[in-house]
Amino acid sequence: MINRPFKIDFEHPLPYFRDRTEPIKYIIIHCSRGTPEQQLEILNEYKISVHYIIDLKGKVTAVVPEDKVAYHAGLSRWKGSQGESLNGSSIGIEVQSLDMGQRHKSYTTASITKVCILIAYLIKKYKIRRENILGHSDVAPTRKPDPGAGFPWRKLYNHDVLFWYHKSMRIKSNDEKELLEIIGYDTSVIEAARYAFCRRFLPEEVEVIDDIQYLVDNPYPLNFTPKNQELYMLRLQCVASAFEEERKRNYWFFNN
């Protein structure tokens, strides 16, 4: 039994869930603009759900119990995932951000600290691998822009709840599609996968958009190519290498 190392401020307000039939393998991070109360209204309207909402002050709303499947990822895919959605094998966390994560200051220290505590607890409880902590835009690149290029992934790494790439390690391939697929991206629309990658690993290539409705309706720009092609390819090679190494390391850890 692992005790929850944080306080829940509001518990289980929505009835949209089903029983789990698969183990929990992924954590999917989302962002929401409104307060938890406003967010609950939206979820309720569409009859969808999430496991946790964390507000700007770091307060936690537990919407659906962890042992139930919540409806947060929609059509989504990641390397090795089964079926049409990651809902069945994931926990969804929504983090409040006033501008949908467009800038670093969009997220508060209080909320990110709580996100890290929550993820550390879930990793330990369900033996979730650090390469399976993903953003909604990673697993649904054509449909979703959250948690945005401002989400501080590196802080999660600093809190030891994520792994990161090393600049010295890279796969010496120039095949963009192959590299994106090694990481886990669905490349059926390559521009979308490319943009989702940049959101997370090369945010300086991503345009800041203040018109949130536009952003939601247009999660990625059509015909997107990074300005700095050389840096993009180098970063892609480093990140692909990191994911490959992490999977090998975990394979050894979980199978020996």
Given the complex with Zn ion, which of 134 and 183 has the nearer CB atom?
Answer: 134
Q: Which of 94, 176, 181, 205 is catalytic?
A: 94
Given the complex with Zn ion, which of 30 and 194 has the nearer CB atom?
Answer: 30
Following DSSP, what letter does each residue of 88-104 receive, concatenated? Answer: GGEEEEEEE-TTTT-SG
Decide: residue 3, CB within 10 A, 0-12 exposed, 13-18 middle, 19+ buried.
exposed
Q: How far apart are CA 230 and CA 2, in angstroms?
A: 46
Q: How far apart are CA 175 and CA 127, in angstroms?
A: 32
In whole angstroms, how far apart are CA 183 and each of 79, 95, 191? Answer: 7, 24, 15
244 is catalytic: no
Residue 106 Cβ, how far from Zn ion at the closest point, in Å?
A: 15
Residue 31 Cβ, how far from Zn ion at the closest point, in Å?
A: 7
Q: Which residue has the CB atom at the shortest distance from Zn ion?
A: 30
Given the complex with Zn ion, which of 139 and 242 has the nearer CB atom?
Answer: 139
Q: How far apart are CA 40 and CA 109, in angstroms?
A: 23
Residue 46 Cβ, how far from Zn ion at the closest point, in Å?
A: 12
Given the complex with Zn ion, which of 55 and 146 has the nearer CB atom?
Answer: 146
Residue 190 Cβ, how far from Zn ion at the closest point, in Å?
A: 22
Which residues are bridge partners to 82 per DSSP?
none
Provide the binding-site residues for Zn ion, judged by CB under 5 A.
Answer: 30, 136, 146
In whole angstroms, how far apart are CA 225 and each of 59, 230, 246? Answer: 39, 12, 28
Joined together, the tokens standing for residue 39 give: 């967010």
User: What residues act catalytically?
Assistant: 94
